[in-house]
Amino acid sequence: MFSTRTNKPFLLIPLLLLPSAHAIVSIYQTPQQSILSAERVASSAAAAGTPIPYKGLPAYNTTGLQAPPPPEAGSFPTQVTLQLADAPMLNVSIPQKSSFFGFSIEMSVVNQVLGSNASVLQVPFLNLMANLQQRTGRIDIRVGGNTQETATLVDSLDDGRIIEKDHALATNPTGTPPLRFTPELLYMLRNISEHVNIRWHLGVPFNDTSNFRLQIAEQGQAILGDYLIGLQVGNEPDLYVSHNHRPPDYGPEDYFHEFGSLIQAMIADEDKLTPRPKTLLLGPSIQFNWTAEEVWNTGFIDAYTDNLAFLSVERYPNDNCAVAFPNDPGQTFHDPQKSLNQYLSHGATSGALQLYANSTSIAVQKGKPFLMFETNTASCGGFSGISDAFAGALWGVDWGMKLASMNFSGALFHVGGQSVSYNPFTPPPSNESTFHQWSVGPIYYSALVVGEAMGTSNTSQVLDLQNSAAAVFAPSFTPLADQFAAYGIWENGHLARILYINFVTDASGAHDVNVTMNLDQPILQGSVQVKYLQAPTVAQKGNYTWAGQTFGGNFQSDGRPVGTENIQSITCTSPTQCTVKIPAPAAALVFLSPTGGQDATQKGAPQTTFATTAITKFRNTATVDPLVLSTSNGRSGALGVGSTSPEGTKNSGPVVRVGFTMVIGGVLIGAIFLIIA
Ligand SMILES: *[C@@H]1O[C@H](CO)[C@@H](O)[C@H](O)[C@H]1NC(C)=O
Ligand SMILES: *[C@@H]1O[C@H](CO)[C@@H](O)[C@H](O)[C@H]1NC(C)=O
Ligand SMILES: *[C@@H]1O[C@H](CO)[C@@H](O)[C@H](O)[C@H]1NC(C)=O
Ligand SMILES: *[C@@H]1O[C@H](CO)[C@@H](O)[C@H](O)[C@H]1NC(C)=O
Ligand SMILES: *[C@@H]1O[C@H](CO)[C@@H](O)[C@H](O)[C@H]1NC(C)=O
Ligand SMILES: *[C@@H]1O[C@H](CO)[C@@H](O)[C@H](O)[C@H]1NC(C)=O
Ligand SMILES: *[C@@H]1O[C@H](CO)[C@@H](O)[C@H](O)[C@H]1NC(C)=O
Ligand SMILES: *[C@@H]1O[C@H](CO)[C@@H](O)[C@H](O)[C@H]1NC(C)=O
Ligand SMILES: *[C@@H]1O[C@H](CO)[C@@H](O)[C@H](O)[C@H]1NC(C)=O
Ligand SMILES: *[C@@H]1O[C@H](CO)[C@@H](O)[C@H](O)[C@H]1NC(C)=O
Ligand SMILES: *[C@@H]1O[C@H](CO)[C@@H](O)[C@H](O)[C@H]1NC(C)=O
Ligand SMILES: *[C@@H]1O[C@H](CO)[C@@H](O)[C@H](O)[C@H]1NC(C)=O
């Protein structure tokens, strides 16, 4: 029950008087959160025609890389035959939860991404999550990151803020100033969960293990209740030494003991804490400076089995740290153009994750879910041209599915600020939020695809067909090409869906792959349904489509997909054989049966959308040319309130009760004239 909040009146009364079916918006005044400062180029200059180097915030960089040339003829099979069984095949994964693909949101940017406070939520965020909820029923999100370690919960902050960086205390050598936040942040998470079924992981500050600050656990449990699912204990402890957070001899044993100290502190605090939080702990959340085995060898899992809700690691397959920290001589420069191939290779993904195979097998034996707790294309902000291009979307699908096939139990893709390239979704800079919308990145599309691949049943078992000796016959036993991936998904014990990825870019069609699926049982019903994730090249930024729907380019999305969903029906040769084309490049999700398993056309839950800034702007700015608005929104003719269907499952009734004030409307009009002038 959400009844703990008694001391704080809500300032929503006038807003609640607005007609509740529309007039819904969040307006945003947050301090710029850019970690890497970047000079922003006026948008008029960018439109002037001559290509000028992009100097703005990395999250909105439109300069791209070159798609690699296609592989030579003969080295890339375009006719593939798979032999598949209706019953789960050898080496198939454990049953995966629908919420496998989730997000990790850097704590310092929650007031950009989630909302200003518990009453002003970011509507595009809610829409983006509602799209996923429709497909999966639930989304798991971690709020934390490096900034959680020194965060302190305080009663209140100036100007009603819910979070602030204490620059006066910026002694942290990574340049991350300590955060202070108020319980309002936790109420905001709770209110979000009232609208969309999001479950939250939080982190206990771990900078001072002799004097734990447990308030986030106390208040987190009190405010979030069952919506709190995990408490991280230490973020990347294997990097503490190099960040000067621990003495030079700090190692896995020390982490083991500190973990134990935290449990003792939680037991001592049980009056305030209640018993549940100490059963939600997760660790060790290492990158790869220690091996996971070094941590297991301390006895970690058995010693803390009653407290460990999850085991966790964090991993980015590459880094852009030389660019992010140019003054750090220890960093190696990775050329983005050369690095691109790594993200278009199933072998590279499998290889990078192989070091966890032993650990996931230990986790399965011990009955502990094993999480990839923070991941994305590349650490230190990602690579522009990869992390924010179609290559990133295909990589995200492959990385997510590979993790599922390896018996990970979840993967949380990181969301940073406007200084990073890899965001699944990015709000506009706060001073432009009245006329710009959100930018939806490639990883969000990965989430949609993996979400639908998993479905809602919590029974999906995944097999990497590339690695399955039993599955591949092309035409005799041959592994699939490195730039091609295939996964089988069994649901309730039957083959339900197959996911393919073609990483090659070739508009000529010469590298499109025809996959023939041979089934051991006559389960095909005349046709299969296929949804494609597509863009013309792997280098394209924005305008990707998933089953024909898109979120446009930078600043174009209110979080709702635009366009009509386009599901291809492919006629099969027989009840045991079907051939599907996978264009270069694309991912394709093949639904074997419209009725068995999950229906391609009828997703898990009814679509819930939240009326948006666009609608409110439209209603509040009658003097502004509607064309300008519809362009900035990336859609035309779809602004009607009637297109929303608020009758969701748990989201029924009037949603986010936030409105536009006249003052804000005035700012809006001014801002729009500024842009069109
Ligand atoms: C928003 O702020 C950025 C950085 O402070 C600045 O470069 C940009 O011009 C501002 N945009 C507007 C529309 O004022
Ligand atoms: C924008 O992306 C291009 C191509 O990837 C890169 O060379 C450039 O440094 C990026 N600029 C910024 C400000 O991120
Ligand atoms: C995942 O776990 C299942 C059940 O223990 C096992 O059969 C399978 O081989 C494992 N898969 C991998 C890739 O380790
Ligand atoms: C929430 O944030 C909005 C926008 O910043 C502000 O107008 C409002 O006063 C805040 N509400 C509370 C309860 O602090
Ligand atoms: C947030 O939660 C409080 C307490 O339940 C509620 O009064 C308020 O209306 C909620 N705000 C929103 C925006 O839903
Ligand atoms: C831990 O972080 C808090 C909050 O930033 C700070 O007050 C404290 O001094 C830090 N403790 C250590 C041991 O670094
Ligand atoms: C890796 O761990 C060792 C030993 O704990 C430490 O000396 C080194 O600084 C760490 N490297 C990084 C990059 O954190
Ligand atoms: C797997 O990890 C366990 C525990 O650390 C270790 O004893 C074992 O040698 C490892 N096995 C392999 C194949 O790495
Ligand atoms: C899937 O698991 C979640 C808990 O992780 C649960 O809330 C949900 O009801 C389950 N769905 C089904 C269809 O059993
Ligand atoms: C199952 O996995 C094991 C270990 O990775 C492998 O040796 C074996 O070939 C796999 N079996 C099949 C049928 O793919
Ligand atoms: C793939 O199949 C389609 C239709 O089934 C056919 O038109 C096309 O030629 C095939 N492509 C290749 C490379 O064989
Ligand atoms: C995306 O689509 C919009 C609208 O069709 C178009 O204006 C824009 O140029 C496209 N961007 C790219 C990168 O194709």
- 3-state SS string for 199-259: EEEEEECCCCCCCCCCHHHHHHHHHHHHHEEEEEECCCHHHCCCCCCCCCCCCHHHHHHHH
Give yes or no for residue 117 CB within 6 A of ligand 4: yes
Task: For 529-564, write each residue's pLDDT tens digit.
Answer: 999 999 999 999 999 999 999 999 999 999 999 999
Paired with 531 in beta bridges are 589
Comparing CA positions, the residue from 292, 307, 294, 445 lying closest to residue 371 is 292
Q: Which atom of ligand 9 is nearest to the CA of 457?
A: 13
Is a pLDDT exceeding 80 seen at residue 474? no
| Average pLDDT taken over every residue of the chain | 82
Is a pLDDT exceeding 80 seen at residue 38? no
Do 392 and 345 contact (CB within 8 A), yes or no?
A: no
Give yes or no for residue 357 CB within 6 A of ligand 10: no
The Å distance, Cα 127 to ligand 2 centre, comes to: 29
Is a pLDDT exceeding 80 seen at residue 635? no
- How far, in Å, CA of 434 to CA of 431, rounded? 8
Q: According to the model, what pLDDT value does residue 175 have? A: 57
Q: According to the model, what pLDDT value does residue 312 have? A: 98
Nearest CA residue ID for atom 3, ligand 1? 40
- In this prediction, residue 105 has a pLDDT band, given cuts at 50, 70 and 90, of very high
Compute the average pLDDT of residues 195-203: 97
Q: According to the model, what pLDDT value does residue 79 have? A: 92
Nearest CA residue ID for atom 9, ligand 4? 11
Compute the average pLDDT of residues 262-277: 97
Q: According to the model, what pLDDT value does residue 445 have? A: 98
Q: According to the model, what pLDDT value does residue 611 have? A: 55
Compute the average pLDDT of residues 34-42: 25
Give the percent of the chain with pLDDT over 90: 71
- In this prediction, residue 432 has a pLDDT band, given cuts at 50, 70 and 90, of confident
Q: Enumerate residues lining ligand 5, CB below 6 A.
A: 2, 5, 10, 12, 118-119, 121, 191, 656-658
The Å distance, Cα 188 to ligand 5 centre, comes to: 8
Q: According to the model, what pLDDT value does residue 216 have? A: 97
3-state secondary structure 465-485: HHHCCCCEECCCCCCCCCCEE
DSSP state of 550: B
Nearest CA residue ID for atom 11, ligand 2? 54
The more confidently predicted of residues 601 and 191 is 191
Compute the average pLDDT of residues 414-424: 95
- In this prediction, residue 173 has a pLDDT band, given cuts at 50, 70 and 90, of very low
Domain spans in the chain, listed from the N-terminal domain onward = 79-90+460-591, 101-454
Give yes or no for residue 458 CB within 6 A of ligand 9: yes
The Å distance, Cα 263 to ligand 9 centre, comes to: 29
Give yes or no for residue 542 CB within 6 A of ligand 12: yes
Q: Is 233 exposed, middle or buried (0-12, 13-18, 19+ CB in 10 A)?
A: buried
Compute the average pLDDT of residues 639-651: 24
Side-chain half-sphere of 517: how many Cα atoms within 13 Å?
A: 33
Comparing CA positions, the residue from 222, 225, 217, 218 lying closest to residue 199 is 225
The Å distance, Cα 529 to ligand 9 centre, comes to: 25
- In this prediction, residue 55 has a pLDDT band, given cuts at 50, 70 and 90, of confident
Instruction: Tell me the best of 134, 140, 458 to mutate to test the pocket of ligand 9, counting ligand atoms within 8 Å of each CB and taking the most.
Output: 458
Is a pLDDT exceeding 90 seen at residue 655? no
Task: For 475-500, write each residue's pLDDT tens digit.
Answer: 566 778 999 999 999 999 999 999 99
Do 529 and 601 contact (CB within 8 A), yes or no?
A: yes
The pair of three-digit structure tokens given for residue 128, joined into one six-digit string = 């983006």
Nearest CA residue ID for atom 7, ligand 10? 469
CATH of 101-454, one of 2.60.40.10, 3.90.1200.10, 3.55.40.20, 3.20.20.80: 3.20.20.80
Compute the average pLDDT of residues 451-465: 96
Give yes or no for residue 470 CB within 6 A of ligand 10: yes
Task: For 71-100, write each residue's pLDDT tens digit.
Answer: 998 889 999 999 999 999 999 999 999 999
- Per-position DSSP letters for 170-184, written without gaps between them: ---TTS-PPEEE-HH
Comparing CA positions, the residue from 297, 300, 220 lying closest to residue 256 is 300
Give yes or no for residue 291 CB within 6 A of ligand 7: no
Task: For 370-395, write each residue's pLDDT tens digit.
Answer: 999 999 999 999 999 999 999 999 99
From the CA of 364, the nearest ligand is 3
- In this prediction, residue 451 has a pLDDT band, given cuts at 50, 70 and 90, of very high
Give yes or no for residue 469 CB within 6 A of ligand 10: yes
Q: Which amino acid is at 122?
A: Q
Give yes or no for residue 120 CB within 6 A of ligand 4: yes
Q: According to the model, what pLDDT value does residue 641 have? A: 21
The Å distance, Cα 579 to ligand 11 centre, comes to: 9
CA-based radius of gyration for the chain:
24
Q: Where are the beta strands (DSSP E) in 22-137?
A: 79-84, 101-106, 115-117, 120-121
- In this prediction, residue 15 has a pLDDT band, given cuts at 50, 70 and 90, of very low
Is a pLDDT exceeding 70 seen at residue 353? yes
Three-class SS state of 630? helix
Helix (H) or strand (E) holding 620: helix 613-620
Compute the average pLDDT of residues 408-435: 93
Q: Which atom of ligand 5 is nearest to the CA of 12?
A: 9
Is a pLDDT exceeding 50 seen at residue 2? no
- How far, in Å, CA of 325 to CA of 142, rounded? 26
Nearest CA residue ID for atom 4, ligand 11? 581
- In this prediction, residue 654 has a pLDDT band, given cuts at 50, 70 and 90, of very low
Nearest CA residue ID for atom 2, ligand 10? 91
Q: Mean pLDDT: which of 171-175, 330-334, 580-584 is highest?
A: 580-584
Q: Enumerate residues lining ligand 1, CB below 6 A.
A: 32, 40, 429, 431-432
Query: How many helices and strands, by DSSP H and E, does the chain display?
Result: 19, 26
Phi-psi region of 389 (alpha: psi -120 to 50; beta: other; left: phi over 0): beta
Q: According to the model, what pLDDT value does residue 9 have? A: 27
Q: According to the model, what pLDDT value does residue 657 have? A: 24
Q: Enumerate residues lining ligand 8, CB below 6 A.
A: 293, 296-297, 358, 362
- In this prediction, residue 567 has a pLDDT band, given cuts at 50, 70 and 90, of very high
Nearest CA residue ID for atom 13, ligand 11? 78
From the CA of 96, the nearest ligand is 9
- In this prediction, residue 5 has a pLDDT band, given cuts at 50, 70 and 90, of very low
The Å distance, Cα 358 to ligand 8 centre, comes to: 6
The more confidently predicted of residues 107 and 611 is 107
DSSP state of 631: H
Is a pLDDT exceeding 90 seen at residue 26? no
Instruction: Tell me the best of 117, 191, 431 to mutate to test the pocket of ligand 4, counting ligand atoms within 8 Å of each CB and taking the most.
Output: 117
CATH of 79-90+460-591, one of 2.60.40.1180, 2.160.10.10, 2.160.20.80, 3.40.50.300: 2.60.40.1180
Nearest CA residue ID for atom 1, ligand 11? 514
Please report where in the chains the tokens 């003495």 appear, as a residue: 247
Q: According to the model, what pLDDT value does residue 274 have? A: 97
Q: Is 259 exposed, middle or buried (0-12, 13-18, 19+ CB in 10 A)?
A: buried
From the CA of 610, the nearest ligand is 5
Q: According to the model, what pLDDT value does residue 177 have? A: 73
The Å distance, Cα 187 to ligand 5 centre, comes to: 8
Do 317 and 380 contact (CB within 8 A), yes or no?
A: no
Give yes or no for residue 557 CB within 6 A of ligand 4: no
